[in-house]
A = this chain, B = another copy of it.
């Protein structure tokens, strides 16, 4: 079975936006042994969209349309697919009612144009959308005498994921021979890509049956391992064996062996050790707190913290002595450590983090250039302060600094 993914939206035909949903979908299709043979990106133009739909449904067994399912006049996917396949759209009154109800619950009046979201391809199954208003559609039909599956799903990434995993995977699994694929994702913090590859390529090159992809960015290197075999156990054994060898080589630089993010791992370790965390951030401006609190349940181990951008606030909220700032500068080892120690004590936490640096693009000097960051972690008994120079733009410096801080917390908890 070959698939085509059609991403619908004029914004993806500008120099500014890209389709990213198709990466997620491709991963899921590959799990089922389905190959993506074509991806098409087409704008909100009825002729173009109908042409793309006809081509896709002509050449692929499975055509997945993403986007163009909303309530606006630009949302033309339903209409284009109906025209391409030569079937009718019917307005589904249950969906219309549900739409009215959804608006009523929010005490809003439903704009009339919303009703087009209830137009369903004749013969299609309706896929409920728990994350948005536009339902999806699943049609099994014939085209030019060949069996075809056509899926219509909304474009917002969280809706794509939810709808695909809830309603599409089960339907598709029935259509393909049981495939036995196993995957693993290992993540490594704060090591360069070439250093990691130098040490690991002799290892993963031995495993001809495991497809290994090495990806680097944002202060981490990821190994994506994938194996296909006669049985799930066999495939799993192959990826696990390689994963074990990689972990042995890289030791505790590997922070995640099942794909978790660094903030998830830190949250997990904190809860396991029953430890509470507090942070005092200057140049990262809340990014460390934001990353930790993005993990559900993080309130059990994260107390909070302070964003002390100005010097006054460093003193007010984290008791950093003005004389220390005067003597060493706000961006200094001493201030980073004071932030970590003091926030820990003030918040009655077990571990404190302090970060101060120059994110840029302005504010650098010869002595203290853009990208210079001091990061401190303390648990009251021992502490660690590191000085780093990160390269790149403001966002990259902040991201790497937050990554370094989270990795130091992780190492302190191991």
Annotate A238-275 by CB proximity to B: 1 below 8 A, 0 otherwise.
Answer: 00000000000000000000000000000000000000
Q: List residues of chain B with CB within 8 A of the CB of A12.
A: 39
Q: List residues of chain B with CB within 8 A of the CB of A131.
A: 391-393
Instruction: Please state if B213 and A10 are interface contacts (CB–CB under 8 Å).
Output: yes
- Closest B residue by C-beta to A200: B72
**Interface of chain A, main secondary structure:** mixed
Annotate A180-205 by CB proximity to B: 1 below 8 A, 0 otherwise.
Answer: 00000000000011110110010001
Instruction: Please state if B11 and A224 are interface contacts (CB–CB under 8 Å).
Output: yes
Name which of A15, A224, A359 has the most chain B CB atoms within 10 A of its CB. Answer: A15
- Closest B residue by C-beta to A285: B293
Q: Which of A140-148, A311-319, A321-329, A375-383 lies at the binding interface? A: A311-319
- Using a CB-CB cutoff of 8 Å, which residues 267-319 of chain A contact chain B? 278-279, 281, 284-290, 292-294, 296-299, 302-310, 312-313, 316-317
Instruction: Please state if B13 and A36 are interface contacts (CB–CB under 8 Å).
Output: yes
A residues near B (Cβ < 8 Å) are 9-18, 20, 23-24, 26-27, 30, 35-45, 48, 51-52, 55, 59, 70-74, 106, 108, 111-114, 131, 156, 158, 192-195, 197-198, 201, 205, 211, 213-217, 224, 278-279, 281, 284-290, 292-294, 296-299, 302-310, 312-313, 316-317, 346-348, 359-363, 389, 391-396, 398
- A14 CA to B392 CA in the complex, in Å? 28
| Contact among B38, B215, B306 for A42, CB-based, below 8 A | B38
Q: List residues of chain B with CB within 8 A of the CB of A361.
A: 296
Instruction: Please state if B309 and A317 are interface contacts (CB–CB under 8 Å).
Output: no
Q: List residues of chain B with CB within 8 A of the CB of A38.
A: 13, 40-42, 48, 52
Instruction: Please state if A362 and B13 are interface contacts (CB–CB under 8 Å).
Output: no
Instruction: Please state if A40 and B39 are interface contacts (CB–CB under 8 Å).
Output: yes
How distant is A326 from chain B, measured CB to nearest CB, in Å? Answer: 18
* Copies of this chain, count: 2
Name which of A40, A293, A297, A308 has the most chain B CB atoms within 10 A of its CB. Answer: A293
| Contact among B72, B302, B310, B391 for A197, CB-based, below 8 A | B72
- A106 CA to B390 CA in the complex, in Å? 10
Given contacts A113-B198, A306-B307, A317-B317, contact A14 B26 (CB under 8 A): yes
| Contact among B114, B194, B316 for A71, CB-based, below 8 A | B194
| Contact among B39, B198, B317, B363 for A13, CB-based, below 8 A | B39
Given contacts A197-B113, A312-B303, contact A213 B39 (CB under 8 A): no
